[in-house]
Amino acid sequence: MGRKEDVVDIVVPELGEVEEVKLVRWLKAVGEEVEAGEAVAEVEADKAVFVIEAPSTGILAEAHVSEGGSTRPGEIIGRVKPG
Amino acid sequence: MRTVLHADLGRIAYGPALALQRRLHALRREGWIPDVVLSLEHTPVITIGRQGDEGHILAPPEELARHEVEVYPVERGGDVTYHGPGQLVLYPILHLREAGLDLHRYVWNLEEVMIRAARRFGVEADRRPGFPGAWHGSGKLGSVGVHVRGWVTLHGLALNVDLHPDLFPLIVPCGIAGARAVSLSTLVGRPVSVAAARDAALAAFADVFGANLLPVDGEVVARWTG
């Protein structure tokens, strides 16, 4: 544990013909515990809000995109340190 | 062809319909129930989406109270919108992955349902790039607002069938200055009932989603969810 490879990426999934999405809000703060499947962030495109869930249980270690910022499918928006 | 259950809830306040959607969403995610589409008409309500700006509610609180308009912040995409009598609402609770749909295609399909429903009344609506919904010129005939979690949808579409002209001006539709709501009845030139629009929209829904709609009683659906 502790090595960079041990963290799990939080990735915006493929959403179809959507090039850019807006990160509406983080539902967890960096340093907060998350459970696998728990909602961590919301992105919006085309009047649709899509909830991104934690890929594993642990601590939200990194958030790469700020609220209101833009991101895209396939992009890593944060990382979970399992634990 | 996929079977999608259809329940008509008649005229229902926003809160109970939202609670029902959330419970159905949970059951659908867990795989206890198949896809469901709810059809209904809301009592007057303004909802504020995730990108919502309360400043887009133009009416002062006293006026909203006088018209008995409720206000709800909700988890769907988009800005402020009005729902009320004379507007057909469809809330599909669909598993997008199982239906072979992605998010973009799903929103496109909802727009297509409204466009095809309008066509059955001889009205040609279309899309406006960057502004999801069904449009007729600068008039907004229908809106979409969606929430997806675990690839299962909540919220859906609202088609203006015969809106009370005094109520929609309470807001800036979707936050677009200058946009105005337009009703199917106005475009057709005679009153269209919500029931007729519902039948047209459900037929379009079955075509667009390749679904076989199976009617179920709204009260039965409410009982599944306790």
C-beta atoms of B144 and A49 within 8 A? no
Which of B50, B76, B103 has its CB closest to that of A15? B103
Asked which of A45-59, B51-65, B143-157, B190-204 is least confident by mean pLDDT, the reply is B51-65
pLDDT greater than 70 at residue B178? no
Q: What is the DSSP string of chain B?
A: -EEEEEEEEEEE-HHHHHHHHHHHHHHHHTTSS--EEEEEEESSEEEE-TT--GGGB-S-HHHHHHTT-EEEE-SSSSSEEEE-TTEEEEEEE-BTTTTT--HHHHHHHHHHHHHHHHHTTT---EEETTEEEEEETTEEEEEEEEEEETTEEEEEEEEESS--TTTGGGB-GGG-TT-EE--HHHHHTS---HHHHHHHHHHHHHHHHTEEEEEE-HHHHHHHT-
C-beta atoms of B76 and A25 within 8 A? no
Instruction: Give residue A2's pLDDT.
Output: 46
Task: Give the closest-approach CA distance of B131 to chain A in angstroms.
Answer: 8
Confidence of residue B76 (pLDDT cuts 50, 70, 90): confident
What is the average pLDDT score of chain A? 93
Instruction: Give residue B157's pLDDT.
Output: 97
Residue B225 or A49, more confident: A49
C-beta atoms of A48 and B146 within 8 A? yes
Asked if B131 and B78 count as a contact pair (C-beta separation under 8 A), the reply is no
Does A38 reach chain B within 8 Å, measured CB to CB?
Answer: no
Interface with chain A: mutation pick from B50, B91, B101, B174, highest number of A CBs within 10 Å: B50
Residue B206 or B175, more confident: B206
ipTM of the complex: 0.91
Asked which of B51-55, B83-87, B108-112, B192-196 is least confident by mean pLDDT, the reply is B51-55
Does B144 reach chain A within 8 Å, measured CB to CB?
Answer: yes
Instruction: Give residue A57's pLDDT.
Output: 97
C-beta atoms of A47 and B49 within 8 A? yes
Which of A17, A25, A47 has its CB closest to that of B144? A47
pLDDT greater than 70 at residue B174? no
Instruction: Give residue B213's pLDDT.
Output: 97
pLDDT greater than 90 at residue B221? no
3-class secondary-structure state, position A17: coil
Confidence of residue B208 (pLDDT cuts 50, 70, 90): very high
pLDDT greater than 70 at residue B172? no
Does B103 reach chain A within 8 Å, measured CB to CB?
Answer: yes
Q: Which chain B residues touch A51 with a CB distance below 8 Å?
A: 147-150
Instruction: Give residue B175's pLDDT.
Output: 62
Q: Which chain A residues touch B103 with a CB distance below 8 Å?
A: 15-16, 18, 45-46, 48, 50
C-beta atoms of A24 and B51 within 8 A? yes
Does B148 reach chain A within 8 Å, measured CB to CB?
Answer: yes
C-beta atoms of A53 and B146 within 8 A? no
Does B73 reach chain A within 8 Å, measured CB to CB?
Answer: no
pLDDT greater than 90 at residue A74? yes
Could you read off the pLDDT of B22-48 as tens digits, one per residue? 999 999 999 999 999 999 999 999 999
Task: Give the closest-approach CA distance of B190 to chain A in angstroms.
Answer: 31
Confidence of residue B220 (pLDDT cuts 50, 70, 90): confident
Task: Give the closest-approach CA distance of B146 to chain A in angstroms.
Answer: 4
Q: Which chain B residues touch A18 with a CB distance below 8 Å?
A: 102-104
Asked which of A16-30, B15-29, B132-146, B164-178 is least confident by mean pLDDT, the reply is B164-178
The strand pairing partners of B42, in sequence order, are B12
Q: Which chain A residues touch B107 with a CB distance below 8 Å?
A: 46-48
